[in-house]
């Protein structure tokens, strides 16, 4: 089994030098603290990919530098295209979307770089945006344009495999409030994608190279049954190419816990989007409502229909070893359920801890980044060992 990894999008880095500085300052010490090999799930923004591809000798040095640090890389996070550590990221993280040529070009570049980074004999994966953000996906023929570009990428990945022997797969990552957010929407899109691929005699290449990145936090926020969700995608022939090991924030019975709502208000911050979903048990059919982004005002004085809900879940990637953060709980139970489901699958997806929110986590008592991520990896490895995939 490949070593467990964590995603380096938690570290800023818009140049090759900055990425390497993050590896030296954080990733190498994290591996030393964990005491066993870990993988660097690299986030290489578009400027970094451009810099590497423009300088073949520099790319070779980068590959050698990873080996010198005794680190492996088998997956890239190509979701954030630009500055993921800007003052305000929010919905801009979904741009360019999969209708835009910049997204295709960037992902093709990521594949070219990953082919150089992959350990011998291993497959690679690249996670990407869930096509786009629903609030910005208003172009005519949006889905059709996405299909065209994704199939073009599949052909690129097939050709790369034939030329280099390196098999790399795309992993589309459903997320709340995006074009693909629920399991049902994901299944529906892949049905469309595969049907078009078959019409173009590209069915085999599409099924081989295009799949999902299953982020447990995202489907927990949607109040989905994560085990059933993973099984449904697999039953439909949709490859689970990557699994993000993540937890969401949770607030049960918000009306009865004003102190928890006050604590939650501190998690509303200006950089990232924190989609908030409320589940209410109804006599005939349960109701789920959502807010695109958490605000302090909402946490303090929510509308009645939200206040009287049974449970809130918030898209804020909480440390995966935490069952609670103060008066708030997390969806760690869903994470454990998802990991227990993995031995049923015909193949094991790439496994990566992705808590990119450490730098915006409120509270002066949070641990330093090296200790925090190392503790996540140690706790996750223990869970993997317990379910027999360690």
Task: Give residue-wise pLDDT tens across range 21-53.
Answer: 999 999 999 999 999 999 999 999 999 999 999
Task: Give residue-wise pLDDT tens across range 368-377.
Answer: 999 999 999 9
Task: Give residue-wise pLDDT tens across range 99-130.
Answer: 999 999 999 999 999 999 999 999 999 999 99
User: What is the rounded distance in angstroms from the CA atom of residue 19 to the CA atom of residue 27?
Assistant: 10
- Alpha helices per DSSP H over 278-368: 296-300, 304-307, 332-341
Q: Is the peptide bond before 96 cis (omega within 30 degrees of 0)?
A: yes
The answer to whether 202 and 189 have CB atoms below 8 angstroms apart is no
pLDDT at residue 272 greater than cutoff 80: yes
Mean pLDDT of the chain: 97
Contacts of 315 (CB under 8 A, 6+ apart): 175, 176, 217, 218, 221, 248, 273, 274, 275, 276
The answer to whether 274 and 315 have CB atoms below 8 angstroms apart is yes
* Predicted pLDDT at 261: 98
Residue 308, classed as helix, strand or coil, is coil
Q: Calculate ∠ Cα 250-246-112, nearest 5°.
A: 150
Average pLDDT of the residues in 231-241: 98
The answer to whether 286 and 225 have CB atoms below 8 angstroms apart is no
Give me the domains of the chain, ranges plus CATH numbers: 5-247+329-386 (3.20.20.150)
Sign for the pseudo-dihedral over CA of 318, 322, 326, 330: positive
* Predicted pLDDT at 285: 86
Torsion of CA 377, 14, 16, 51, to 10 degrees: 130
Six token digits for residue 294: 């958490």
Half-sphere exposure of 73 (CA within 13 A, CB side): 27
Nearest in space to 18 (alpha carbons), one of 49, 42, 55, 48: 48
Beta bridge partners of 213: 242
pLDDT at residue 211 greater than cutoff 80: yes
Q: Identify the band that residue 363 occupies on the pLDDT scale cut at 50, 70 and 90.
A: confident
pLDDT at residue 148 greater than cutoff 80: yes
* Predicted pLDDT at 284: 85
pLDDT at residue 230 greater than cutoff 80: yes
Contacts of 216 (CB under 8 A, 6+ apart): 226, 243, 244, 245, 246, 247, 331, 334, 335, 338
Average pLDDT of the residues in 169-174: 98
Looking only at the bridges linking them, the beta strands covering 124-128 and 168-172 are: parallel
User: What is the rounded distance in angstroms from the CA atom of residue 102 to the CA atom of residue 136?
Assistant: 16
Average pLDDT of the residues in 251-279: 98
* Predicted pLDDT at 165: 97
User: What is the rounded distance in angstroms from the CA atom of residue 138 to the CA atom of residue 309?
Assistant: 31
Beta bridge partners of 41: 7
Task: Give residue-wise pLDDT tens across range 279-328.
Answer: 999 888 899 999 999 999 999 999 999 999 999 999 999 999 999 999 99
* Predicted pLDDT at 290: 98
* Predicted pLDDT at 243: 98
Q: Calculate ∠ Cα 33-36-38, nearest 5°.
A: 90
pLDDT at residue 133 greater than cutoff 90: yes
Average pLDDT of the residues in 136-157: 97
CA 119 to chain centre: 22
Six token digits for residue 210: 């295009």
User: What is the rounded distance in angstroms from the CA atom of residue 179 to the CA atom of residue 185?
Assistant: 8
Beta bridge partners of 330: 249
Report CA-CA distances (Å) from 37 to 1, 26, 64.
Answer: 11, 14, 17
* Predicted pLDDT at 56: 98
A 10 A CB-CB count for 89 gives 17
Q: Percent of the chain beyond pLDDT 70? A: 99
The H helix count followed by the E strand count for the chain is: 15, 14
């Amino acid at each position: 089994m490949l070593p467990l990894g964590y995603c380096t999008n938690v570290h800023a880095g818009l140049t090759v030098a900055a990425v390497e500085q993050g590896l030296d300052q954080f990733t190498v010490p994290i591996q030393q603290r964990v005491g066993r090999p870990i993988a660097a799930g690299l986030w290489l923004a578009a400027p970094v990919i451009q810099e590497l591809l423009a300088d073949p000798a520099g790319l070779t040095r980068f590959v050698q530098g990873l080996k010198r640090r005794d680190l492996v890389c088998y997956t890239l996070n190509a979701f954030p295209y630009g500055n993921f550590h800007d003052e305000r990221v929010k919905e801009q993280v979904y741009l360019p979307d999969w209708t835009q040529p910049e997204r295709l070009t960037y992902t093709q570049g990521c594949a070219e770089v990953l082919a150089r980074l992959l350990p011998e004999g291993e497959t690679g994966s690249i996670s990407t945006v869930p096509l786009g953000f629903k609030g910005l996906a208003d172009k005519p023929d949006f889905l059709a344009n996405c299909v065209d570009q994704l199939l073009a990428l599949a052909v690129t990945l097939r050709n790369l495999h034939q030329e280099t022997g390196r098999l790399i797969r795309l992993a589309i990552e459903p997320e709340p409030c995006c074009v693909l957010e629920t399991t049902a929407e994901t299944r529906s899109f892949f049905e469309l994608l595969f049907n078009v691929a078959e019409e173009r005699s590209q069915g085999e290449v599409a099924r081989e190279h295009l799949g999902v990145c299953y982020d447990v936090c995202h489907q927990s926020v949607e109040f989905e049954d994560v085990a059933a969700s993973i099984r449904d995608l697999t039953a439909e022939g949709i490859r689970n190419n990557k699994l993000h090991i993540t937890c969401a924030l949770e607030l049960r019975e918000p009306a009865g816990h004003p102190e928890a709502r006050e604590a939650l208000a501190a998690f509303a911050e200006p950089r990232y989007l924190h989609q908030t979903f409320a589940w209410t048990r109804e006599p005939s059919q349960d109701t789920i409502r959502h807010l695109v982004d958490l605000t302090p005002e909402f946490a303090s004085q929510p509308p009645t229909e939200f206040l009287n809900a049974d449970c809130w879940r918030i898209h804020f990637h909480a440390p995966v070893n935490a069952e609670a953060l103060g008066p708030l709980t997390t969806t760690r139970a869903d994470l454990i359920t998802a990991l227990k489901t993995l031995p049923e699958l015909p193949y094991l997806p790439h496994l990566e801890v992705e808590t990119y929110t450490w730098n915006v986590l409120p509270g002066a008592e949070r641990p330093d980044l090296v200790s925090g991520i190392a503790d996540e990896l140690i706790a996750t490895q223990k869970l993997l060992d317990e379910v027999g995939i360690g």
